[in-house]
Chain A
Amino acid sequence: MTVFKGYFLTIRRNFYSLAVYIGIFIGVCVMIQATLGKMLPQEGFSSYRMKVAVVDRAGNELSRTLCDMIGEKHESVDVADDPQAIQDALYYRDAEYVLILPEDLEERFEAGQQAVERVTVPDSVMGFYVDMQVNTMLNQIRAGMAGGLAQEEACREAKRLAALPGNTTLYDRNGNAGRLPAYNYFFRYMPYGLLGSVIWTISLILMEYKRKEIRRRMLGSAVSFRTQNLAAFGAFLTLGFAVWLVCVLFGVLLYGRELLPDRNFGWYLLNSFVFMLVALSLGYLCGTISNGPQALNGFTNVVSLGLSFLGGVFVPIEMLGKVEIFSQFLPSYWYTRVNEMLGGFQTVAGEQLALAAKGIGIQLMFAAACLAVTLAIRRVQVQES
């Protein structure tokens, strides 16, 4: 018990650095949450309004119908009919889409050719949205005319149809209107808090205990080597559990109403608990290979920030690009994958269950491998000394 208590005495002395990491994590979560709250739409679904400019060179019934439709569905902006002005408007994002209705719009339309021209911000996905609306409009007019209506009547009928609200049935997989719940972001940033606080604290303690003379004194004592090791494991597990519990409780405090009824709450706990074991094993490794506080500081920052960035904690996995291939070897990547899945689905079954098992399994294997490597290094260190 003395050895176990000794570890906690040292942990108590390092309480402030421990609190700083947890504080940063919670601060980041609250900040991100506040930002996301402003950015995300409150409704489950709403149509998107783009800044669209229409250059009407035709000036006829057909072009006016299209202009009216754009005006209703999007934010209409004025742009001069000049290539340079159009480029500038797109460059400065005054307009996201410029619809050009040529003088021979009607001829082209009747001939079944591409009737309109468009200029958009490069690689704009939302441009297709406007394309679709324009094409639908033109097709409806064409269909009306084919059905015997005059162009003017067909345009009016198409405008009427376009104004009708569409019934949107949202495929709500997570009971959160397709959005990731706020607490999912909280759990997403948790690896940084766990890695930073646990690695730093464990490493500091280990550096004290691995000093040659301290080790000599301990090994020469009446407490067996096995008991000493068990006490160390027990102390580190307790520390990790306490840090994890504090983080989780803070999450419950912030998002309790939404988080507690979530069917995936247990999975969130399991995923983050397993990642805490990863953080413990990494702390054990860093403490074993660090030679001084400065090296330790470097290790802690490189490991916690590196794993967080590369694992998709700070940056969404989709934005990692080719780096994702490398990231797949990291436990933080699998933590994030499982976390994203938990946010995206209401129940974990089938493929989701397979992903959860795989992700958590890989994290556990990483922790076990890390522990095995550390034990091997410690064995060499003991033999060398």
Chain B
Amino acid sequence: MIHIKNLVKRYGELTALDHFDLDIQEGEIFGLLGPNGSGKTTAINCLLALLKYDKGEIIVFGKEMRPDSYELKRQIGIVPQNVAVFEQMTVWENIDYFCGLYVPDKAKRRELVEEAIRFVGLEDYRKMTPKKLSGGLLRRLNIACGIAHRPKLIIMDEPTVAVDPQSRNRILEGIVELNKGGATVIYTSHYMEEVEQICSRIVIMDHGRAIASGTTEELKQMIRTAETVTVEGIAASEEQLQTIRELPHVFLAELSQEHVLTVKCTSGRHNLIRILNYLQEQELAFGRVYAAPPTLNDVFLEITGKELRD
């Protein structure tokens, strides 16, 4: 459905997209994950032909995407990062206006607007202006304006920034529902939990490049960490730490100043039991202990050497 090849975009000295490649299949919820400034929004702007790029190729629905590709744009919905609605129009008028940029027929548009209002749950706020809506409701309105014309491809650029947990869940559920309804979704975010929760495939971006791509599981399998064991409230010596590092499958053990021991293990069985046995042997007192599978942050950390949230 979307094919981006070798895309380069420079802003003077800064290379925002550095030979960026992307392939998205129909029916996917595709996650673009990366820290702020990694090139996610630039990639989206190039995809929408809002930005001229220096090099590369963008194919959407089998055709080259150009600024005047209005037939292609007709099938795309945009939900921008910041709420983009008119302050002086009501909820209904805003959705109708943006839907009207794609659907000229008034009667058909009325149906679509009503459907979008129901979808985001703004039935009781039809006649209200955006000033009177809460942050969560505004985000829902922002989404309704982008999806009312029933696009085949929906681009959502960090739609849950600064949204309360309740509204965030509702938005995420809505995205899955849209996808089930047949829409392909490109979802950009720097919240890895969200991306993990809803995206069928993910590209991790850094410095304008796609540093890894695949399903969540595929990405996790790319790194050494298979399990992270955390032991709280422990006071181990350097000698004891060294012994832990030499246990089977363990490749990293660190003790923080807050007395939290983090042990990273490659895939293997009984890692947690082995560590606990050693602590018992050494008669070391400790608090809470838990083991967790790797996160996308671990993936990012191992590939780039820095935290995703930096």
> Are B93 and A217 in contact, with the CB atoms below 8 A?
no
- Which residue of chain A has its CB nearest to the CB of B86? A208
Q: Are B80 and A222 in contact (CB under 8 A)?
A: no
Query: A220 interface residue, CB < 8 Å from B?
Result: yes
Is A82's CB within 8 Å of the partner chain B? no
The stretch from B28-36, B95-103, B267-275 touching chain A is: B95-103
Q: Indicate if B4 sits at the interface (CB-CB under 8 A).
A: no
Q: How far is the CA of A213 from the CA of B73 in the complex (A)?
A: 17
Which of chain A's residues have a CB closer than 8 A to the CB of B76? 220
A220 and B50 within 8 A (CB): yes
CB–CB B88/A14 < 8 A: yes
Supply 8 A–B pairs (Cβ within 8 Å), ascending by A.
Answer: A13-B89, A211-B84, A216-B50, A217-B98, A220-B48, A220-B73, A220-B78, A222-B70
Contact A208 B73 (CB under 8 A): no
| Cα–Cα distance between A13 and B87 once the two chains are bound (Å) | 10
| Choice from A2, A211, A214, A224 contacting B70 with Cβ under 8 Å | A224
Write out the residue numbers on chain A whose beta carbons fall within 8 Å of the beta carbon of B48.
219-220
Please tell me if the beta carbons of B101 and A10 are within 8 angstroms of each other in the complex: no
Do B84 and A214 touch (CB < 8 A)?
yes
CB of B144, distance to nearest CB on chain A (Å): 13
In the assembled complex, B215 has its CB within 8 A of some CB on chain A: no
- Report B-chain residues with C-beta under 8 Å of the C-beta of A219: 48, 50
Query: A223 touching B81 by the CB < 8 A rule?
Result: no
> What distance in Å separates the Cβ of A241 from its nearest Cβ neighbour in chain B?
22
Min CB gap A283→B, angstroms: 17
Q: How far is the CA of A5 from the CA of B83 in the complex (A)?
A: 22
Q: B89 and A216: CB pair below 8 A?
A: no
Q: Are B102 and A222 interface neighbours, CB within 8 A?
A: yes
| Interface residue? A221 (CB, 8 A) | yes
Q: Are B104 and A1 in contact (CB under 8 A)?
A: yes
B88 in complex: contacting residue of A3, A208, A213, A220, CB < 8 Å: A208
Interchain CA distance A193-B93 in the complex, whole Å: 30
* A13, B146: Cα distance in complex, Å: 23
Question: Which residue of chain B is the closest to A219 with respect to CB atoms?
Answer: B50
Those of A1-53 within 8 Å (CB) of chain B? 1-3, 5-6, 9-10, 13-14
B82 at the interface (CB under 8 A from A): yes
CB-based contact A222/B101 at 8 Å: yes
A13 and B88 contact, CB distance less than 8 A:
yes
Quick check: B73 and A217 within 8 Å, CB to CB?
Answer: no
Q: Which residues of chain A are near B68, meaning CB under 8 Å? A: 224
Cα(A216)–Cα(B85), bound, Å: 11
Provide the bound-state CA to CA distance between A74 and B44, in Å.
Answer: 87
Q: Residue B74 at the A interface, CB < 8 A?
A: yes
The reply on A134 being an interface residue by CB < 8 A is no
B104 touches A213 (CB 8 A): no
Is B102 a contact of A217 with CB atoms below 8 Å? no
Of chain B, the residue at the smallest CB distance from A223 is B101
- Asked whether A221 and B86 contact (CB < 8 A) given A6-B97, A216-B78, the answer is no
Query: A218, B87: Cβ atoms under 8 Å?
Result: no
Residues of A contacting B117 in the complex (Cβ-Cβ under 8 angstroms):
none
Q: Which residue of B lies closest to A1 (CB)?
A: B104
- The reply to whether B50 and A214 contact each other, CB–CB distance below 8 Å, is no
Please, what's the 1-or-0 string for A208-247, where 1 marks a CB less than 8 Å from any CB in chain B?
1001111011111111110000000000000000000000
Question: Within the assembled complex, what's the spacing in Å between the Cα atoms of A216 and B47?
Answer: 12
B77, closest chain A residue (CB): A220
